[in-house]
Amino acid sequence: MMRTKPMKRAAMLLVVLALIAAACGNDSDDAATTDASGDATDGGADATPDDSADTAEEPGGVLTVGLFQEPDNLNPFLAVQTASRIVRDLVLEGLVDADPDGNYVPELSSVPSAADGTISEDGLTVTYNLVEGTTWSDGHPFTSRDVQFTWETVMDPANAVTTQLGYEDIESIETPDDQTVVVNYSTLYSPALSLFSIPEAILPAHVLEGEAFGEADFNRIPEGTGPFMVTEWNSGQSIILDANPNYRDPSLPLLDRIIFKIIPDQNAGIVQMRTGDIDVFWNVDTAVIDQFTSMDGVNVQVTPSSNVEYLGLNLSSGSDPADPHFAFGDPNVRLALAMAIDRTPIIEELLFGLSEAATSPIGLGWAAPEGLSNPAYDPEGARALLEESGWVDSGDGIREKDGQRLTLEITTPTGQQVRELTEQVLQEQFKAVGIELVINNVPAATLFGNWAENGKLQRGDFDIAMDTWGPDLDPAGFLGILFDSSSIPQDPGGQGWNFFRLQSDRLDEAIEAGATTLDIEARKEAYRIVVEEILDAGVYIPLYNRSKIDAFSDAVSGYSPNPWGEVTWNAEEWSIAG
């Protein structure tokens, strides 16, 4: 079998440690992982919910995962929610995947390499040799045509995909036989292996050809090649996945069924974890982590990630970049906002010291720049900047200019207590410099909805968004979709996720430079310029680096931490006792 996700647990833990050390700028080679208390451990059995899938009595069984955000859809080219990826990664697969060590590993294909000639010397031709014997869950053969069809679908102007970055650099795709895909690029795209893979996947041509992409049944009940298949979606209640009987490895998955139970919030997760109604809870809020760690029969797994919690500022008054925001059109206001933030109470009191201040949108990996810092906490300096720009206090503590109060709205997905508490901290800190912050949280689907769904970010219907996002193995796609000028969502279609409406020629040039060379040092330098431009623009204010925190019942075994994958990345190896 080409799939290489399983690894010896000791090796995996050493990998995680190395990534933690890299994220912290620590050169130590000590072997240590992190438990829910933040204390170092020896990397033994206590570091994961269970050290081996062999502890389960018998394969099979039903496992329930608590999900406090419901995906809007499961199409990898339409959805941006993490909740969508957590579900769809069990069903849909890419050509290659990422292991915990930050390497590409085979999934539906061998990993192309310059060493074996499957990547040409100039990097313009990439050849994939597909895994033989792979079928879709309906039994239809998986072939090179599916890869070609995926590219054609992404590039079809009638399909409002999230991004075409990288795919637009492909000149042609040849399919000399069912098991061979030859991708020809018109220009070098250095992160080529991330295409058709992370966080996207391959689409089934036999299901989607002739269908209206944005309205296809596939978007809720996708046909996939993965270990599970979606068999039922009860809106607001559950998404049910059953084992794929046609999965290429007949020994997997170990579970018969996974139920993603849609629950309203973290508090419901606490109750249902305690009563045993759910076996796994995704994305434990640090504000309630002690309630999970104190439960008998429950383990909490803390895994480093590239994700960064940040504030995103809208430079426009709506969706049109030519129409400046009444406050954020002034760089002094943006800088004053950053100077008004004291991260210490957020990290120490709300996160219990389980995180550290973030200084970059690239929080982990080879491209994460070192030596950066945030504007110093300086409320007096923030007040001076606002005065300089004509924002003055008329007597009630809130500044005004030309009859306009300096009132800003902050929005984040509902259901996460630590974010709500963070908003309250920011509310007080901004008030101290004369800025009124109004909290208006909405469901994740409302905030991240696409253009046709009137998503607040896509449509520019916000002042400040508090969100978490981070790159995959290669940051090129992440930086392009979130910060390149070509990714500003506009009518028609609203492609791209540069909801900051940030436009910078130097930034665009650096993003392109990082994606058009094979020189790793040149790429690192380009991405440092990208990060510096983003931070200097003041539209992205990093708050803290986010770990992935998930709770597991003692009955669950087989889970392994992976900074580059979601909690379900190896769920085909999970089992449940009892």
418 sits in which H/E element: helix 417-431
CA–CA–CA angle 230, 235, 239 (5° rounding): 25
Residue whose tokens read 């599970």: 228
CA–CA–CA angle 281, 286, 287 (5° rounding): 110
- Domains belonging to the chain, first-starting first, are 58-220+548-576 (3.90.76.10), 308-545 (3.10.105.10)
Per-residue pLDDT at 248: 97
What's the rounded Cα separation, in Å, for the pair 118 and 182? 9
Q: Residues 225, 137: contact at Cβ < 8 Å?
A: yes
Q: Burial letters for 66-84: b for 16+ Cβ neighbours within 10 Å, e otherwise?
A: bbbbbbbbbbbbbbbbbbb
- Picking from 34, 44, 52, 53, the residue whose alpha carbon sits closest to that of residue 10 is 44
Task: Report helix, strand or coil for 568.
Answer: coil
Residues 6+ away with beta carbon under 8 Å from 195 = 166, 167, 170, 183, 189
Give the chain's length: 578
What's the rounded Cα separation, in Å, for the pair 275 and 295? 10
Distance from chain centroid for Cα 377: 28
What's the rounded Cα separation, in Å, for the pair 476 and 251? 36
What's the rounded Cα separation, in Å, for the pair 504 and 518? 24
Joined together, the tokens standing for residue 181 give 């895909």
Q: Which residues face 98 on adjacent strands?
A: 104
Q: For 428, list phi and psi in degrees, rounded to 5.
A: -70, -40
Residues 6+ away with beta carbon under 8 Å from 285 = 266, 416, 417, 418, 419
Q: Residues 69, 282: contact at Cβ < 8 Å?
A: no
Per-residue pLDDT at 43: 33
What's the rounded Cα separation, in Å, for the pair 127 and 122? 13
Q: Please state the pTM of the whole predicted model.
A: 0.79
Per-residue pLDDT at 44: 32
| Residue ranges of E strands in 452-571 | 464-469, 540-545, 548-553, 556-557
Task: Report helix, strand or coil for 508.
Answer: helix
What's the rounded Cα separation, in Å, for the pair 456 and 445? 9
Per-residue pLDDT at 108: 98
Tens of pLDDT, residue by residue, the chain (578 residues): 333 333 333 333 333 333 333 333 333 333 233 333 333 333 333 333 444 334 444 578 999 999 999 999 999 999 988 999 999 999 999 999 999 999 999 999 999 999 999 999 999 999 999 999 999 999 999 999 999 999 999 999 999 898 898 999 999 999 999 999 999 999 999 999 999 998 899 999 999 999 999 999 999 999 999 999 999 999 999 999 999 999 999 999 999 999 999 999 899 999 999 999 999 999 998 888 999 999 999 999 999 999 999 999 999 998 899 999 999 999 999 999 999 999 999 999 999 888 899 999 999 999 999 999 999 999 999 999 999 999 999 899 999 999 999 999 999 999 888 999 999 999 999 999 999 999 999 999 899 988 888 999 999 999 999 999 999 899 999 999 999 999 999 887 777 899 999 999 999 999 999 999 999 999 999 999 999 999 999 999 999 999 899 999 999 999 999 999 999 999 999 999 97
